[in-house]
Amino acid sequence: LKTFNIDFCQIEIGNIETSSLESLLVNRYLNARKIILVDENTHDCCLEYLITTFPTLEEAEVMLLPVGEENKVMEVCFQVWEALSEYQITRNDLVINLGGGVVTDMGGFIASIYKRGLDFIHIPTSLLGMVDAAIGGKTGIDLGVLKNQLGVFQYPQAIFIDQRFLATLPENELVSGFAEMLKHALIADGDLWNVLKGTDFITLLNSPKFSDFIAHSVALKVAIVAADPYEKGERKKLNFGHTIGHGIESVCLLEEPISHGHAVALGMIAESYLSYKLELIQERELVEITTTLSNYYDHVQLTDSAKKSVIELIQNDKKNDHTGVKCVLLKGIGEAQIDVHVSNERLLDALHYIDSVFRAN
Ligand SMILES: NC(=O)c1ccc[n+]([C@@H]2O[C@H](COP(=O)([O-])OP(=O)(O)OC[C@H]3O[C@@H](n4cnc5c(N)ncnc54)[C@H](O)[C@@H]3O)[C@@H](O)[C@H]2O)c1
């Protein structure tokens, strides 16, 4: 078992059966009522294992959230809050979020707001959740198609990361999570990038060493978050690929949703291009990044009007201030530069660049 701490939140990576979950449940939360939040897929794939492994959870109330980013919205939160109220859940009770990033983001938000805050635990079940979404205390929901516009920073009591849950995760979702692992390498660890870019992901996933890569990725995020827990400065680095990525993800939400990691991967291609245009990385590095990413992630052809919508949506990105759009760009591979102003013309140019990468393939 590998463990990390951010403030009072303990992160344990490894076999959940030998983790401190059991003692937490029977000691600190012995008299608490437990609410397990799942979506339809984690209900079917992960819940039974959890309940049979931890008999204290047999009595838990299970609440089912609808699957997908399009449901990471206030209407669903309201329904859960009403149900919590109906079950007379008190501030001493415990919410357990069992799912991918949608469940942990929304479940963390629901728990943080209800009666000014219930304790909650994250058990991420997607790769993206394990290496990224569950870590770092950001909870939240979307406002219409605008991503993560409502939310609070609130750390869970504990996070339990067990690779066993990945056994039922569809391959495209595994590849989605890999995008955030690649991102952590690009912004913070050039040596890791050199390993990942030269390794086939599926081979890596099936190797006994994969849990070390999960732990490494978590460690990179923990180090960044611990130094700047409320994103006043350096933590913004973690948003590399996300300014343009979120714009693309939002536009696709209206028609045919794509996975978060897929959108971020396309965003990383575009933002690497911007890094190159601003002479922050060399052409050779740009080619290396685009070749690696375009090998795993499909092109999404946006029409001119969809590209325009992406630029419009980016104007509402959380990292902006009144001086305009600010991106996180790469400064060489393994480092990032935050708060770089980028004009709308450049953003559009970067969207066209994505097309050119895939056209060339
Ligand atoms: N809070 C943060 O710091 C942070 C960071 C990155 C991403 N996010 C958010 O995370 C979300 C994306 O997370 P995600 O990719 O995990 O999305 P998700 O929660 O929608 O999960 C992806 C899909 O996999 C299914 N699934 C999850 N675990 C499964 C399992 N073990 N077996 C079978 N199916 C399973 C889900 O039901 C869903 O269909 C986005 O909303 C994004 O904004 C948050």
Q: What is the pLDDT of residues 197-241, one digit of tens each?
A: 999 999 999 999 999 999 999 999 999 999 999 999 999 999 999
Alpha helices in 87-170 (DSSP H): 101-113, 127-128
Angle (CA) 236-240-242 rounded to 5° is 100
Q: Is the CB of 132 under 6 A from ligand 1?
A: yes
pLDDT at position 310, please? 97
Q: pLDDT per residue over 236-268, tens digit each?
A: 999 999 999 999 999 999 889 999 999 999 999
Question: Which of these, 178, 158, 153, 146, lies nearest to 265 by C-alpha position?
Answer: 178
Nearest atom within ligand 1 for CA of residue 166? 31
Q: Is the pLDDT of residue 361 over 80?
A: no
Sequence-distant (6+) residues with CB within 8 A of 25 are 34, 54, 56, 57
Confidence label for 14 from pLDDT (cuts 50, 70 and 90):
very high
Average pLDDT of the chain is 96
pLDDT tens digits, one per residue of 162-191? 999 999 999 999 999 999 999 999 999 999
For the stretch 135-152, pLDDT in tens is: 999 999 999 988 999 999
And the tokens for 134? 């569950």
Inform me whether the pLDDT recorded for 69 exceeds 90.
yes
Ligand 1 centre to CA of 126 (Å) is 6
- Other beta carbons less than 10 A from residue 161's beta carbon: 27
Phi and psi at residue 7, to the nearest 5°: 50, -120
Paired tokens of 8: 């009072």
Residue 226: alpha-carbon gap to chain centroid: 17
Neighbours of 315 (CB within 10 A): 12
What is the model's pLDDT at position 318? 80
Question: From the CB of 100, is ligand 1 less than 6 Å away?
Answer: yes
State the distance from the centre of ligand 1 to the C-alpha of 112, rounded, in angstroms: 19
Residue owning the nearest CA to atom 20 of ligand 1: 68
Q: At residue 336, does pLDDT exceed 80?
A: yes
| Closest C-alpha residue for ligand 1 atom 14 | 101
Can you tell me which atom of ligand 1 is nearest the CA of 102?
A: 19
Q: Is 149's C-beta closer than 6 angstroms to any atom of ligand 1?
A: no
The predicted structure's pLDDT at residue 29 = 97
What mean pLDDT is predicted for residues 62-88? Answer: 97
Q: Please identify, by atom number, the ligand 1 atom nearest to the C-alpha of residue 148.
A: 43
Q: What's the pLDDT score for residue 64? A: 98
Beta pairing, strands 94-99 & 119-124: parallel
Task: Show which residues are catalytic.
Answer: 116, 138, 180, 221, 231, 235, 239, 242, 246, 260
Residue 321: per-residue pLDDT = 83
pLDDT of residue 317: 81
**126 within ligand 1 shell (Cβ under 6 A):** yes
pLDDT of residue 22 exceeding 90, the answer is yes
User: For residue 168, what is the DSSP state?
Assistant: G
CA distance 152 to 106: 11
Neighbours of 298 (CB within 10 A): 13
Q: How far is the CA of 83 from the centre of ligand 1 (A)?
A: 23
Q: What share of the chain is helix, strand, coil (3-state, %, to 5)?
A: 55, 20, 25
From the alpha carbon of 46, which atom of ligand 1 is closest?
A: 31
Our answer on whether the CB atom of 42 is closer than 6 Å to any ligand 1 atom is yes
- CA–CA separation, 241 and 325 (whole Å): 14
Q: Which of 106, 224, 260, 328 to mutate to test the pocket of ligand 1 (most atoms within 8 A of CB)?
A: 260
Burial of 104 (0-12, 13-18, 19+ CB in 10 A): buried
Quick: pLDDT tens for 292-322. 999 999 999 999 999 999 999 999 888 878 8
Q: Is the CB of 99 under 6 A from ligand 1?
A: yes
User: Is 162's C-beta closer than 6 angstroms to any atom of ligand 1?
Assistant: no
Question: How far, in Å, from the CA of 324 to the mean position of ligand 1?
Answer: 30
